[in-house]
Structure 1
């Protein structure tokens, strides 16, 4: 707890206890100055009972609808279909929702207006993509184009709606194959569990309909790789990153670390980056 006492601590709720949510919960339990883990919510709480009981300060385990009365900030690490039920009560009450299912925001854009009307805030963390600060800065001026090329191991793309709808036998791919070329909005619909990173990039820059994206299935890879090229009136820059998958092959380890870094910034005496 902070030196001022628990009354000034920000209360955090975490929804979803997969690799990302568990990492955030454990970091909060170890201690982040000025923050306290108030509650968690999961589809199957009993599955996580022992792990939660072993925390130094076990949080309340609550249904989603009870979280907004218990916490100041919610961290959404849940299936995208739950986004609205998690975010709306917080931003509607002038609170903060940290959203990892960024792709689902495109189907719930009215939540942004809800946050605006009530003094709430939706935060999309950097996640698996470096350079969002640079894109955000460039967007203050004029961005001409943004293109992203994503390459993923086969198992990181299996089961995506686009794969199923187009009858792509992904298990039989023996060499790198481009399976998608379109916009970030189209990618969010076709690959909802894979391309939150592309939606975050588009929201930071020129929007989901002008951000172009290629997706490659690559059986030679063990890491998710992203390369981004940006042309703007202030700078031309490119960046690439290789993310080590977590226990969930669709998600990189760095995603949880990105959320933890955001939380540490909230009460930090020195904050680096916008």
Structure 2
């Protein structure tokens, strides 16, 4: 009888940084059980705020500062504000470990982390998140992609407080009909909307880069969901795709984002893996 590889391989020790709408769901899934994974630590800015939640878990992870996670875990899942990305990711990839990044937009300001991971045998993982079709884009990029265009439509409140909105004095609350508020590249969008457009950066990383991936952002007061449409022209295929994301407790984040991270974790030790 063949050996069960999962029974002989050590479990991957997982840490989660941040317990917002995404981090909470990921921690709950790990606590319920994912083959080959064990949750060992969580980092949050306000431990007292989350202590009741942690105490309610079946297997209680350690509550540690960010700088202590790499000492106890094999991989970290970054679910924190984008300003903390570097502090979370760098220690793991420098140690040859894995960091899953949900704040993909922040990679545009920290691209040297990719070189750091390569130099030390680490890995940065950007899950599909609130988008679809990244497998197709990744495959098309093995040939030649001519263009990638994305149009995002968001409820007004989901854009409130974005640096681009503030810098351009856009009165979000006064919008009464669909309004195009941005037209540019994925790199420019990552700077102007760091909490909103991680999907655009993930798309650019899968395809032709942040400077050639173009993006429009529309504020639509009639919407209750984030809507993303992507159009790709390549030498292997031309395709388009649309997704409407139901918001989580945080209106800037779709529910499917956390589920995407959980699905990636399940793939790591699965007997059958579907998708690129």
The TM-score bracket by the shorter chain reads over 0.9
- In structure 1, the gaps of 5 or more residues are none
What SS is found at the alignment partner of 2:267? Answer: helix
Distance in 1 of aligned mates of 2:58 and 2:158:
34
Counterpart mapping for 1:56-135 below 5 A: 56-135=58-137
Judging changes above 3 Å, is the alpha-carbon distance between structure 1 residues 148 and 3 closer, same or farther for their aligned structure 2 residues?
closer
What corresponds to 1:49 in structure 2? Answer: 51
Using structure 1 for the length normalisation, give the TM-score. 0.98
Distance in 2 of aligned mates of 1:270 and 1:75:
23
What SS is found at the alignment partner of 2:221? Answer: coil
Any idea what the Cα deviations from partners look like across 1:114-155, whole Å, max 9, x if unmatched? Answer: 000110000000000000000000000000000000000001
Matched, 1:184 2:208: no
Distance in 1 of aligned mates of 2:172 and 2:116:
40
Matched, 1:199 2:164: no
What SS is found at the alignment partner of 2:217? Answer: strand
Aligned residue among 15, 25, 35 for 2:17: 15
- In structure 2, the gaps of 5 or more residues are none
What corresponds to 1:261 in structure 2? Answer: 263
> Is the Cα contact below 8 Å between 2:6 and 2:269 reproduced in 1?
no
Distance in 2 of aligned mates of 1:251 and 1:68:
26
What corresponds to 2:31 in structure 1? Answer: 29
Any idea what the Cα deviations from partners look like across 1:129-182, whole Å, max 9, x if unmatched? Answer: 000000000000000000000000001000000001000001000000000000
CA RMSD after TM alignment: 1.0
What corresponds to 1:217 in structure 2? Answer: 219
Shift in Å, 1:45: 1.1
Distance in 1 of aligned mates of 2:6 and 2:122:
27
Matched, 1:4 2:1: no
Distance in 1 of aligned mates of 2:262 and 2:273:
14
What SS is found at the alignment partner of 2:19? Answer: coil
Distance in 2 of aligned mates of 1:63 and 1:70:
12
> Is the Cα contact below 8 Å between 2:226 and 2:254 reproduced in 1?
yes
Matched, 1:136 2:155: no
Distance in 2 of aligned mates of 1:107 and 1:83:
10
Matched, 1:161 2:163: yes
